[in-house]
Amino acid sequence: MNQNKTAKYFKYAIGEIILVVIGILIALQINNWNQRSKEQKLEQNYVELLTQDLQSDAENLTDLVMVSNKIVNSKHILLDYFDGKTGKPDSLSIHFLRGIFSSIQNFVPNKGAIEEVKNAGGLSLIKDEMLRSQILKLYNAYDSMEENTGKNYVENRNIMRDLVYEKTNGRLFITHEIIDQNLLNDIIKDNEIQNRLVNNFALSNNQELKELLQLNIETIEICTDYIQQLND
């Protein structure tokens, strides 16, 4: 009888232990699920913030590409004129101002969201490897644009402006908007000015802006698709 009671108590104790273990496992599972849910919401929030920044960048880049296209077009018209391929255009002043005095703004990306992600723990917060890679690729391209092509373009533009003012003794403009046509006819034939125009980084700047815009749009699409996946 004692052996039977002991066996029953032993079975009961084992059952109690199993129930406790199951309870602990369930509690851990619920806790893990809650933790994953919190991490997913945080991840989605960061991706949404990044997407908003990228959409703002896309608008900015679109405007810059439009301005850059006009500058490149004016550069081609001036170069054709220099090479004798075309006659003197009636709008020479406009193309000169665009080609040499072009005041296109530098592209300054929105980095509020990406900095917030970095401060919170880095891109590892975003679980999707393809999306992480795409975001990193885009922001590296942003940095490259700022440090290389964009920087060279702005520096050359400033040198060209100073050169024109120097060669015309600052008298190129009759008024704020009207150019002295006689001085323009002389300065447009200057070899140094022409060489500066040929090598003013306008084409490379234009191409890189277009590539950035395309990469930006691709990243927005990937972010949007991923947000949809998280919601599903």
> pLDDT tens digits for 170-210?
888 887 778 888 888 888 888 888 888 888 888 888 999 99
Chain centre to alpha carbon of residue 65: 13
Chain centre to alpha carbon of residue 143: 8
Domain ranges of the chain: 2-231
Buried b (16+ CB within 10 A) or exposed e, 55-81: bebbebbeebbebbebbbebbbbbeeb
Which of 7-16, 122-131, 199-208 bottoms out in mean pLDDT, i.e. has the lowest? 7-16
Q: What is the pLDDT of residues 53-83, one digit of tens each?
A: 999 999 999 999 999 999 999 989 988 888 8
CA atoms within 13 A on the CB side of 130: 8
Longest dimension (CA), the chain: 124
Answer yes or no: are the C-beta atoms of 24 and 81 closer than 8 Å.
no
- Distance between CA atoms of residues 144 and 217, nearest Å: 18
Six-digit token string for 174: 């009759």
